[in-house]
Amino acid sequence: MKKTQLSHISWGRVLLTGLVVYVSSYLIVILIITIYAFILAFQAQGAPDQAQINEFAIQVSPWGVPVLAVLLTFGAAFWVLRKVAASKSLHGLLIGFMVAIISVIISIITGLGTDILDLMWFFLTMGAGWFGGHFSHCRLRQV
């Protein structure tokens, strides 16, 4: 088993990818809610019902952001780590950790706190990063 030194980690790539993934997960949920509001506006042929939009946002946001974060972490790790030479699985794990830790920090700052479900999303996100890095490594071997 080969040791990986921390100096061989592409920290800039890990930090930037983690930040982009986290922000993208929020922006996609906002986009979905906005599209829903436009659909309601077209159906009403005027101003949409704000209560319906709020109810939809309350239903979509709690699971939408974490699910998108996991999916985007896998995809980003797979895509970004194609160009990394060494320890793709570790890079992917670090990208997943970065996304997960940003999520925890934002939850604490906003006063939402954390619970057991947040812990589950934390490890799923890290796993998605690891799998993305691992599969990018496997794919390169096949080519």
pLDDT at 47: 87
Which pLDDT score is estimated for 1? 44
- Give the structural domain span for 136: 12-142
- Residue 80 is predicted with a pLDDT of 84
pLDDT, position 2: 53
pLDDT at 137: 65
In a domain, 73, yes or no: yes
Asked whether residue 129 is assigned to any structural domain, the reply reads yes
Task: Kindly state whether residue 65 falls inside one of the protein's structural domains.
Answer: yes
pLDDT of the residue at 30: 96
In-domain check, residue 2: no
pLDDT at position 143: 47
Cβ neighbours of residue 120 closer than 8 Å, sequence gap 6 or more: none
Could you list the mean pLDDT of each consecutive 10-residue stretch along the chain, which spans 143 residues? 64 92 96 94 88 93 92 92 79 94 88 81 94 76 51
Question: Structural domain tally of the chain?
Answer: 1
Cβ density class 13-47: b for 16+ within 10 Å, e for less: bbeebbeebbebbbebbeebbeebbeebeeeeeee
Q: Identity (one letter) of the amino acid at 2?
A: K
In a domain, 4, yes or no: no
pTM assigned to the model: 0.84
In a domain, 108, yes or no: yes
Residue with token string 């799998």: 131
Torsion of CA 31, 102, 138, 1, to 10 degrees: 180
